[in-house]
């Protein structure tokens, strides 16, 4: 006769973690090292990995101790989520792949499963229930980790894009007193201020009386971008520089009129060529054929 042990207390992951913490940590670390597709050796040192693993276990223990521990709402605002986000952000910055970051979290599943099976023994009903809960919990942890990772990545990309934007807006001294400023890339609000300041400083440094602002390379012209342009033009005027905006495509022209964007009394030209001719006119020079 098989004995059906009657459990006196409800089994929870939290209990298991609390009572077998050291073992779980060690076995998890082993598992991480032996999981294929998970090779963190070049990007994170042993100490950091150990501390991340310990942190997760530490934060997981209290929030997986209560009855409904796989309750997603409870999970959202917990310390565990905060810890996962931090770890994930760290991985993103270290350029550890998103898959590996999530694999790290998922690898805990098998480890805990084994301990769970041990604790449940022959009680299959409870074991099935707990396995379900465990799955849900770990899956949710994985999702949180992935989400945090992508958010960090987006921030990093935005920062890099800003750098690229700065590098790709060189001011070209077209002629004595004429400056050509090609605007390239998406002029997002974050960088717009810096771009405008850079343009004005260039105008001041080169003592240019005419600045040709070429927007051929700006894919999106909306009200925000137009406002940046208007600001730049107004400031340039006070510096003593006339601004000619060139590179407005037929599409952009349509958008601007539809959005009711009025650049005011700003000189605009469809092509750079026309803009350059206009610029020369303004400084009192003319291009003549010999």
Question: 12 vs 241, which CB is nearer to another protein?
Answer: 241
Q: How far is it, in rounded angstroms, from Cα 117 to Cα 115?
A: 5
Question: 109 vs 191, which CB is nearer to another protein?
Answer: 191
Coil, strand or helix at 274 = helix
Nearest partner of 76 among 3, 147, 11, judged by Cα: 147
**Min. distance of Cβ 208 from another protein in angstroms?**
8
Nearest partner of 58 among 97, 113, 114, 14, judged by Cα: 14
Angle formed at CA 117 by CA 115 and CA 122, multiple of 5 degrees: 145
CA atoms within 13 A on the CB side of 149: 22
Question: 140 vs 232, which CB is nearer to another protein?
Answer: 232
Question: 64 vs 232, which CB is nearer to another protein?
Answer: 232
Tokens linked to 57:
């276990």
3-state secondary structure 132-189: HHHHHHHHHHHHHHHHHHHHHHHHHHHHHHHHHHHHCCCCEEEECCEEEEEEECCCCH
Question: 132 vs 234, which CB is nearer to another protein?
Answer: 234
Tokens 């001041």, residue?
Answer: 204
Question: 37 vs 284, which CB is nearer to another protein?
Answer: 284
Catalog residues that contact another protein under the rule CB under 8 A.
Answer: 193-194, 196-197, 200-201, 203-204, 207-209, 231, 234-241
């Amino acid at each position: 006769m098989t004995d059906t042990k009657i459990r006196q207390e409800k089994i929870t992951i939290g209990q298991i973690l609390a009572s077998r913490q050291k073992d779980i940590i060690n076995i998890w670390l082993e598992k991480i090292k032996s999981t294929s597709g998970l090779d963190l050796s070049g990007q994170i040192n042993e100490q950091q990995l150990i501390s991340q693993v310990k942190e997760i276990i530490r934060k997981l223990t209290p929030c997986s101790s209560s009855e409904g521990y796989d309750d997603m709402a409870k999970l959202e605002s917990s310390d565990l989520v905060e810890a996962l986000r931090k770890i994930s952000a760290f991985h993103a910055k270290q350029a550890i792949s998103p898959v590996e970051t999530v694999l790290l979290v998922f690898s805990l599943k098998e480890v805990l499963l084994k301990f769970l099976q041990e604790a449940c023994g022959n009680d299959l009903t409870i074991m099935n229930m707990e396995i379900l809960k465990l799955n849900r919990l770990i899956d949710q942890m994985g999702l949180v980790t992935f989400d945090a990772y992508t958010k960090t990545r987006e921030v990093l990309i935005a920062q890099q894009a800003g750098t690229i934007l700065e590098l790709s807006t060189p001011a070209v001294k077209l002629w004595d007193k004429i400056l050509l400023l090609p605007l390239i890339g998406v002029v997002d609000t974050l960088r717009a201020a810096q771009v405008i300041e850079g343009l004005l400083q260039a105008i001041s440094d080169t003592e240019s009386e005419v600045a040709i602002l070429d927007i051929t390379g700006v894919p999106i012209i909306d009200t925000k971008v137009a406002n940046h342009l208007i600001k730049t033009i107004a400031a340039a005027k006070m510096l003593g520089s006339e601004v000619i905006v060139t590179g407005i495509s037929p599409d952009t022209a349509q958008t601007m009129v539809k959005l009711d964007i009025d650049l005011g009394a700003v000189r605009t030209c469809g092509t750079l060529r026309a803009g350059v001719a206009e610029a020369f006119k303004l400084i009192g020079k003319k291009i003549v054929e010999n």
